[in-house]
Amino acid sequence: MSAAAPALPADLPPGLARRWERHQRRQMRREARQAYWAARGGHPLRGWRLPAMILGFIAWWPIGLALLAFFFWRPAMSCNSAPWSAPWSAGWMTPWKDRMRDAAQRATGPVPTGNAAFDEYREGVLKRLEEERRQLDAQQAEFAEFLKQLRRAKDQEEFDRFMEGRRPQA
């Protein structure tokens, strides 16, 4: 996601916490999909292409099928996704490989590097960062509560001023 995900309240029931996490994952996938298509000039069926394909199917189905194949294969024909391109380049399988690697790391934890000292250091840093994230989330919640109280006090002051103005002058 483009911005940090809002903190999950600690007192949320497990069922709602799972729904919240699922929503966050869907949002991340949606944004990744948008970034994927934006990097390739947009979705293959954007703009005039979808109506052209539909008219092709209406006129004669092989035309519509040929247009559909052309629109979807054309992004795959770019130089970056060619089978002979370097494996580290942004090929057509990169999003899927990245997604699978991320899912495996989430399920099993970070992949050990074989260097025990580095693995211990990485674990320590990750724990420290997680603790800092928790502290920041707590500070963010405190600040939100402070702003809420500040707004309440301001609203009360404005209301009192309004009521003073409405009192009949004796």
Q: Would you state the pLDDT for residue 51? A: 78
Q: Would you state the pLDDT for residue 14? A: 73
Label each residue of the chain as H, E or C: CCCCCCCCCCCCCHHHHHHHHHHHHHHHHHHHHHHHHHHCCCCCCCCCHHHHHHHHHHHCHHHHHHHHHHHHHHHHCCHHHCCCCCCCCCCCCHHHHHHHHHHHHHHHCCCCCCCHHHHHHHHHHHHHHHHHHHHHHHHHHHHHHHHHHHHHHHHHHHHHHHHHHHCCCC
0.75 exceeded by the pTM? no
Q: Would you state the pLDDT for residue 94? A: 62
Q: Which one of 4-8, 14-18, 103-107, 143-147 scores highest in mean pLDDT? A: 143-147
Asked whether residue 9 carries a pLDDT value surpassing 50, the answer given is yes
Asked whether residue 81 carries a pLDDT value surpassing 50, the answer given is no
pLDDT, average across residues 149-156: 93
